[in-house]
A = this chain, B = another copy of it.
């Protein structure tokens, strides 16, 4: 096996495992599931990853990378606080409609599942949520500097409300297989931006 071919196989495993873990859960998925998805044998998997835990972390990192790509794509060319925040929200809308990341938000999935069970995954989920929060904070703080929102606005409050509403609505949309919950959540966020932040939406 050339190094190049080895790298491609490793990438294939991570990509397939990322979908399996994000949809079925980290503990519920077995190496057999990954073997089935990749068409590889057990040796073919363990040739690249020392343990299921190592594969889980690589797969989670890949899911985050995918999500980061969708956020970057949504934000491209957007200006101003309301437009930027709503473009981030549109990624949650796509997740609710199962157009992207069919298993839902990888961070919420890992956060719920890893809590009290897989400490290292919980740590990675917490770091990832901080990255998402930082995007929201940056948008709000920039809007404060340009005068788009008042300087009295509490950035941490806005960040918590924004992320909580979207993550909670994504959970409801997935539970009921009904994206209406996300539609309502985004309608509410628009009202929040307008009524509490004084933004034009």
Contact = CB atoms under 8 A, between A and B. Distances in A.
Interface in A1-43: 23-25, 27-28
A113 B175 contact: no
A24 B117 contact: yes
A169 interface: yes
A185 B163 CA distance: 10
Nearest to A164: B168
Contacts of A161: 165, 184-185, 188
Nearest to A159: B184
Contacts of A25: 25, 27, 112-113, 115-117
A175 B28 contact: no
Given A175-B122, A181-B164, A191 B187 contact: no
Contacts of A82: none
Contacts of A165: 161, 164-165, 168
The prevalent SS among residues of A at the interface is helix
A163 B170 CA distance: 11
A157 B112 contact: no
A196 interface: yes
B185 A164 contact: yes
A174 interface: yes
B112 A113 contact: yes
A108 B163 CA distance: 16
Nearest 5 pairs between A and B by C-beta?
A: A164-B168, A168-B168, A27-B27, A167-B168, A28-B117
